[in-house]
Structures are given as structure tokens and as C-alpha cells.
Amino acid sequence: MNSGISNSIGISKNIGILGAGQLGRMLALAGYPLGNRFTFLDTTGNPSAGIGEVIVDPDNQRLAEFLDKVDVVTYEFEHLPVELVKQIEQHKPVYPGSRAIAVCQNRVEEKALFDRLSIPTPAYRVVESAEQLEAAAAELGCPVVAKSVTEGYDGKGQAVLKAPEQAREAWEAIGHRQLIVEAFVDFVREVSMIAVRGRDGEVVFYPMAENQHVDGILRYSVAPLPDLDASVQQTADSYMRALLDELDYVGVLALELFQTRDGGLLANEMAPRVHNSGHWTMDGAVTSQFENHLRAVQGLPLGSTEAIAPTCMVNVIGREGDNAALLALGHAHLHRYDKQERPGRKLAHVNVVAANHAELIEKVRACLALIPDAPPVAWSFSN
Ligand code: AMP
């Protein structure tokens, strides 16, 4: 049968990944069972994937060699030069495409896209001087959050202003030419959506996850949510579909949102790649976000996104936990990234799976006792 032949060709592809960190590593781990091979292009000089073939290319000399080896290109990091991605698109298919990268690496473009698609966001202004920042803070009403338009992630390049008079200090601390200033949202919880679009336009959605950040860095994600109104999930799904279709997107897209007291959702930011808040899917969903991303970029059928059980993803940051004791818990799946310990560095995550949410809370507590510097969980539904 023709379709069988094309599928078997699709499945033996060599996947090129721009970036060679833990997200690339987990993509490869999901792709080997599909018969994929992996070639990474690392421009940092400091790859950590520890798997597949890694081309270390800090001086941008080895792109042709990388392109020769791969059938299709994807990435695990969106802060790539758009020109580089466009150049690669001349030679090999790149999913998601350069337009998605251009939008997601620039907060002004991202907000403009949300506005165009009628996806609500916190009230915001774009400013280009300390004076404009002060005026925007006064107009929006403090507190406000100022964020660099480019290069921000994990809460970097951001400052909260409690009063407009803090504008100059914040402007200098962030040190960028253009900032987005947002009203500070009094959210009930932070949530995220992970959705996948195939090359044929098929879209699948994972259940919404609740995320707990500390100092701008994700610590815990839990899904599915026990108290989620079906209409809220549907609204989030409709936002995702609008974004995916508008960008003619292929692969996994992550969208972080704030849920407000009235049940409304405000979009914060999106990432055109597999996402930390989707790591729970490795053990808690029928098909992981990593496998589904690989299926999408190869034009293969997408797998079920259904949750198997309530799951909590616990990030291990800076220092490793007592790994033998974690494994002895029996309900904790440890995913280590084979990295050296360093303050603030994501080293591993643990997926804790339980039969119900009450049990999950207890099991997560036992897990956190074995992880250094783990902040207390504060889920919206456990109070
Ligand atoms: P971001 O890099 O935009 O995801 O911001 C990092 C974290 O800062 C978010 O996950 C929130 O915890 C917090 N944050 C960002 N923007 C806002 C906002 N407008 N209101 C309240 N908290 C925010």
C-alpha cells in the first residue's frame, strides 16, 4: 500500500535539532522508538544533550554539514536568529517555521498577534525610555511588570514596579531599548496549554496544566486539573487553534496564561517548542509532548493527548535530590538531564503519578522532602 511505504520512509528520518539541551535530549529519547536518528547543532559551545550526534559550532562554520545529514529540522530554543532559520528553510523543511520563531521571540509581535486573534492579554504598553516607562506605570496603575521585548525567559529581563517613581531604576536594571509594560494580574492560578498541529492541519490539545513559578522559574506543573470548568478548557483550546492555524504551525506550541477570579484567561506568552510545563505528559498522558512533536514534524498521525492519571511534574533545580530515595518512592519517575549542578540550573524533573488528586498531594509532599530547596506547593485546588 502506498501509504504504508511513505510512512515507513517518514519513520526512519534523521531529525536535525537546533540547540542541544535537555529538551533536545528528551525529543531524542522519544524518537528512538520511532526509529529516528538525531543530529544536534549546538552554537553555544556547551551542549548537554548527551545523546545522538552533536555538531558543536560556536563559530557558525558547520551548518552545511548539519544540513547534509538531516531530513527535517526542528529546534528546542526559540531565541535563534530568524535569518538563520530562513536560510535553513531554503534547504530543508523546518517545523515550526520561521514566522513562529519571529513572533515568539518578540513580545511586541506576540501581543499584536494575540490582539489580532482577539485573545485577551493583560493591559500593556510598549515603551522606549525611562520617562515613557514612568508614564505607562502611572497610566496602567501599579504594580506593573516591565519586560524586555526580546531575549527574556525564565523571568530574566523583568522588573516589577510598585510605583511609577521606580521607573528609572527598573529601566537601567533591565538595560534594553524597548520594553513591554503590563498591568500586574491578580491571578487565581497560572496555567498553560500544550497543543500539537500536524502537517495536515490536524490539531490535538493536552488537558490544561496549573503551573507554579518561583522567582520567574517553573517549579511545579500539575495536570489534569480537578476543578476545571469544561468551558475554560474549551476557551483555551479555541485560542490555541486560532494561533496554530494563523501561523500555519507544525509541532508543539505552548501557551502560558493567567486564570483570573471570574474564570477568564489572559494570555501571557507562548513558546514554539516542547515546554517544561508539558513534561508531565511523559508519564501522565497516553502520548508525550515529545513524541507528538516528532510525529507532527514528520507528517505522521498524532497520538492521543488524553491524561492517564493525575500527575505532578517537579523540577529539580540547582542541586540534585536524593535520587535513590526518590526512586524508592515507587510512584516517582525520575528524568535526569546528565548536567553538572549549578545554582538556578534545571538538572532533572520528577513526575509523580497518583490515582486521585488527594493522593497526588501526599505523594508530592513525600517527593519534595527529598529535593533540596523545593518550595512548598501552593496549588489553587489544594487550599
Ligand atoms: P514570563 O517570563 O512573562 O512568563 O514571566 C515570568 C513569571 O512572572 C510569570 O510566570 C508570572 O509568575 C510572573 N508574571 C509575568 N507577567 C505577569 C503579570 N502581568 N502579572 C502577574 N505576574 C506576572
Between CA 127 and CA 64 the distance in angstroms is 40
Task: Determine the residue type at 121.
Answer: T
pLDDT tens column, 59-116? 999 999 999 999 999 999 988 999 999 999 999 999 999 999 999 999 999 999 999 9
Taking CA atoms only, the protein residue closest to ligand 1 atom 1 is 155
Pocket test for ligand 1, best of 106, 108, 145, 257 (most atoms within 8 A of CB): 145
Distance of CA 359 to the CA centre of its chain: 27
pLDDT for the residue numbered 382: 79
Per-residue pLDDT tens digits for 304-329: 999 999 999 999 999 999 999 999 99
Residue type at 3? Answer: S
Residues in the chain: 383
234-279 tens-digit pLDDT: 999 999 999 999 999 999 999 999 999 988 999 999 999 999 999 9
Cis peptide before 224 (omega within 30 of 0): yes
Question: Quick one: which of 52, 48, 46 has its CA closest to 31?
Answer: 52
Q: How far apart are CA 247 and CA 250, in angstroms?
A: 9
**Using CA atoms in the order 294, 295, 300, 301, what is the torsion angle rounded to 10 degrees?**
-170
Task: Work out whether strand 37-42 and strand 14-18 pair parallel, antiparallel, or are unpaired.
Answer: parallel
| Gyration radius of the chain's alpha carbons | 21
216 CA to middle of ligand 1, Å? Answer: 7
Contact 163, 185 (CB under 8 A): no
Euclidean distance between CA atoms 334 and 348, whole angstroms = 7
Q: What is the pLDDT of residues 3-17, one digit of tens each?
A: 444 445 455 699 999
Q: Which residues contact 167 (CB under 8 A, 6 or more apart)?
A: 130, 131, 133, 134, 137, 161
Q: Which atom of ligand 1 is nearest to the CA of 185?
A: 20
Identify the pLDDT of residue 155: 67
The C-alpha atoms of residue 197 and residue 247 are separated, in whole angstroms, by 11
Could you tell me what percent of the chain has a pLDDT over 70? Answer: 96
Cα 183 to Cα 125: distance, rounded to the nearest angstrom: 9
Integer Cα distance of 162 and 252 in angstroms: 36
Whole-number Å distance between alpha carbons of 36 and 66: 16
CB distance 226 to ligand 1 below 6 Å: no
- Closest residue CA from atom 9 of ligand 1: 216
- Higher-pLDDT residue of 173, 152: 173
H, E, C per residue of 26-85: HHHHHHHHHCCEEEEEECCCCCCCCCCEEEECCCCCCHHHHHHHCCEEEECCCCCCHHHH
Residue 348 three-state SS: strand
Q: What is the pLDDT of residue 151?
A: 83
How far, in Å, from the CA of 58 to the mean position of ligand 1?
32
